[in-house]
Amino acid sequence: MPTDTGRRPPHRTPPRPDRVRRIEGGFAFLPNDFLHRGFFASLSHAECSLYLFLVLAADRNGVSFYAYDRICTALQLTLDEYLLVRNSLIDKDLIAFDGGRFQVLSLPPAPIMPTPPRRPLVTQDDFEDHDPATIHHLIRSSLDRRR
């Protein structure tokens, strides 16, 4: 039966009715708003992977206890990548971490978009204020002078 736009309504029978999912035992969920309100689109591939992993690992309160080494192995992330992704999800108010436990949080009112890329470091002051290697060198030099 055509609709007002002339298109047929979508057929509601699944393509494989013999394989309809059933909730048995433990299960995980993502609210539809995760997709419809733009949270999914706001995440990088690595952020989506870690978020989904934590959703699947979580108990009914969103809490999970996986150690970083198991997460890195499962998601094929280096420790540096893991730390960046974990901290980004915390900054985006999607997860909490207390040093040993993760919690997948209820969704915030709107996605927190990533900050725009920083401008290139050009001046010596830029490097001294924002470049970890330069800062490290300055600290070491300062400590060496004190000896």
CA dihedral 69, 74, 75, 76 (to 10 degrees): 70
pLDDT of residue 23: 78
pLDDT value, residue 120: 82
* Residue pLDDT, tens place only, 85-127: 999 999 999 999 999 999 999 999 999 886 666 678 888 888 8
Q: What is the mean pLDDT of residues 132-138?
A: 84
pTM: 0.68
* Architecture of the domain spanning 25-104: Orthogonal Bundle (1.10)
**Every domain of the chain and the residues it spans:** 25-104, 118-147
With a cut of 90, say whether residue 83 has pLDDT above it.
yes
